[in-house]
Each structure stands twice: as C-alpha cells, then as structure tokens.
C-alpha cells in the first residue's frame, strides 16, 4: 500500500492511495501517520474510504519524524565523481528535521548560498524499533520506502569547516515523499532505478543495485550505534550526476525545477527559489 499525508502545511491528514491513484482519507481510521501508527499500519480496503476532494498538496508522509539519518558516498561511482575514496564503513551524518518538506514544496536557497545541489536518494522509513539488529532481521523493521531529495549546499558543507550537517540542514533541504510504499510492494530494495532531472535535463541515473552498503546493512549498522525508532527516516546515498560532479560544476539557482523519481515509489518536483 501507499500511505501519505495531504493538506495544507501544518494541517495534513493521513491518507492512502487507491488502485486508480486517488487519495483516500484515513483520518477516520488513524489520527495521523505517526511513528506509533507505523508500528501497526492498518490493513484496509482503500475503496471503503472517502475520497479526498480536489488536488491537495502532499506533505511529508510521516508526522513527527524523530530523526533523519543520512549515508554519504554510498555509490562507488558517486564517490569517484566527488574525488573521494570508497569508504570502509558507512559515512553517517544527520539532517535536521526542520529541513523536512513535502515532495512538491519549494526548495529555498538560504542567504549566502553559492553551491546548491540535488541528490535523489532511496529513503527508508522505520516501522519497528531497531536496536542491535542483525542484517538478517533488519528489513523486518522497515515500514516502507520513499524518495528523499538530500538537497545540499556544498559551500556550507565543504568549505566552511566542521561537519557536513551545516550544508545539509538548511530549511526546505529535505523533500520527502510522495508516499510511503510498504515492503510488500517493493520486490527488492536493491533493484530500484533512480533519476533526477534539472530543468528537464537528466542529471542523475542510477540503481540501488550499485549501493556500496545495502539497505539491510545500513539498518543493522546504525542500530548498533543508536536506536532507530518508528517514524525515523534514513536516506541511503545518491548515484552520480550531482551538480558538483558536472564538468564544469552546475549549481541550483532561483527558478530551477528538480524532478526526481524512483521506480515504484513515485515522483517529486520542486521549484527552487531564493530566500
């Protein structure tokens, strides 16, 4: 199933997509798609639910995200374009939850931004608490998968000292969605095609088959360092083709449009504007 949240910012309602791609209202079944709800997602016939009116905005498909953990340089060809060695262990950084926005909301470049960049990534949504889990049991802790645009400001990230988090956590730098696709609809999370277009031109093309550290390894690895709780989101890294890897580099500017897609998980579109 495909679970989502829809409606105005701050007043989103839980929903589910029916077989015709229409939004059905879930608010009569659950209050919201919080971590607690993700632990026991309802088995429900979408056709039994009322249709949402109009063409509503889509919000972040999880309410009250506790943390967003990101994996860096998780595709060997992306590491090569960044001029960095393939890591021996996952590179881990955090993205502030205040960066989270809906899948089609505007991305706003912060004041002083010089090198805004795009990164299409497979997102993992945790549905059951994971602590010291093995790779064999890791996938049983997944509520579903989604798309993440790990928007980055490379000048902040790389040239201003400190940790990557500074270039990753600007407001609006975390579009998530359009929905959470439950594992039963994802035959193999390590065989999903990813793409990102900027202004109608293909920039990123890849497959999760090229991950250095696969989904199960990432969940197990992180769970030995921190508890992963229902509603937490993990962004698993990006394939090559980011702006900083173009020759010459190309960075986001006001008016640009990003279109992201992952096979079976839907699409995102964001317009870029300046703060």
Is 42 a residue whose pLDDT tops 90? Answer: no
Q: How far apart are CA 60 and CA 174, in angstroms?
A: 9
Q: For 147, what's the count of Cα atoms within 13 Å in the CB-facing half-sphere?
A: 30
Of 53, 96, 140, 138, nearest to 235 (Cα)?
A: 96
Is 175 a residue whose pLDDT tops 90? Answer: yes
What is the sign of the dihedral through the CA atoms of 159, 164, 168 and 170? Answer: negative
Give the DSSP H or E segment for 198.
strand 193-198
Asked whether 218 and 122 are in contact (CB, 8 A), the reply is no
Average pLDDT over residues 112-123: 96
Report the DSSP beta bridge partners of residue 120.
149
pTM: 0.96
- What integer pLDDT is reported at residue 78 of this predicted model? 79
Residues whose CB falls within 8 Å of the CB of residue 10, separated by 6 or more in sequence, listed in order: none
Q: How far apart are CA 123 and CA 141, in angstroms?
A: 14
Tell me the pLDDT of the chain averaged across its residues.
95
What is the band of 221 on the pLDDT scale with cuts at 50, 70, 90?
Answer: very high
Asked whether 59 and 7 are in contact (CB, 8 A), the reply is yes
Q: How many CB atoms lie within 10 A of CB 165?
A: 14
Asked whether 33 and 179 are in contact (CB, 8 A), the reply is no
Of 250, 257, 99, nearest to 175 (Cα)?
A: 99
Asked whether 249 and 158 are in contact (CB, 8 A), the reply is no
172 secondary structure, DSSP code? T
Question: Is the previous residue joined to 273 through a cis bond, with omega within 30 degrees of 0?
Answer: no
Which phi and psi (to 5°) does residue 107 adopt?
Answer: -95, 125
Which phi and psi (to 5°) does residue 134 adopt?
Answer: -80, 165
Average pLDDT over residues 114-137: 97
Average pLDDT over residues 216-224: 98
Is 85 a residue whose pLDDT tops 90? Answer: no
Which phi and psi (to 5°) does residue 228 adopt?
Answer: -100, 120
- What integer pLDDT is reported at residue 80 of this predicted model? 81
Of 60, 46, 147, nearest to 99 (Cα)?
A: 60
Residues whose CB falls within 8 Å of the CB of residue 246, separated by 6 or more in sequence, listed in order: 203
Average pLDDT over residues 30-39: 95
What is the band of 81 on the pLDDT scale with cuts at 50, 70, 90?
Answer: confident
Q: How many CB atoms lie within 10 A of CB 94?
A: 14
């Amino acid at each position: 199933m495909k679970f989502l949240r829809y409606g105005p910012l701050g007043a989103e309602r839980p929903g589910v997509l029916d077989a015709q791609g229409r939004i059905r209202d879930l608010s009569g079944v659950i209050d919201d798609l919080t971590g607690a709800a993700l632990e026991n997602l309802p088995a429900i016939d979408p056709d039994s639910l009322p249709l949402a009116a109009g063409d509503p905005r889509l919000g972040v498909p999880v309410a009250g995200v506790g943390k967003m953990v990101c994996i860096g340089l998780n595709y060997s060809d992306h590491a090569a374009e960044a001029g960095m060695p393939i890591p021996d262990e996952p590179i881990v950084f955090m993205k502030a939850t205040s960066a989270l926005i809906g899948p089609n909301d505007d991305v706003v470049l912060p004041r002083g931004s010089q090198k805004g960049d795009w990164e299409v990534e497979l997102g993992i949504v945790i549905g059951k608490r994971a602590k010291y889990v093995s790779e064999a049991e890791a996938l049983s802790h997944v509520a579903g998968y989604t798309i993440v645009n790990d928007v980055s400001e490379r000048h902040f990230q790389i040239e201003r000292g400190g940790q990557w988090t500074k270039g990753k956590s600007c407001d609006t730098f975390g579009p998530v969605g359009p929905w959470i696709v439950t594992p039963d609809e994802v035959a193999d999370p390590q065989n999903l095609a990813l793409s990102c277009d900027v202004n109608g031109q293909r920039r990123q093309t890849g497959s999760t088959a090229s991950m250095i550290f696969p989904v199960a390894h990432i969940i197990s690895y992180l769970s030995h360092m921190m508890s992963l709780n229902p509603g937490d989101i993990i962004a698993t890294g990006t394939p090559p083709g980011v702006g900083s890897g173009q020759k010459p580099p190309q960075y986001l500017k006001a008016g640009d449009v990003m279109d992201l897609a992952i096979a079976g998980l839907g699409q995102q579109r964001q317009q870029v504007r300046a703060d």
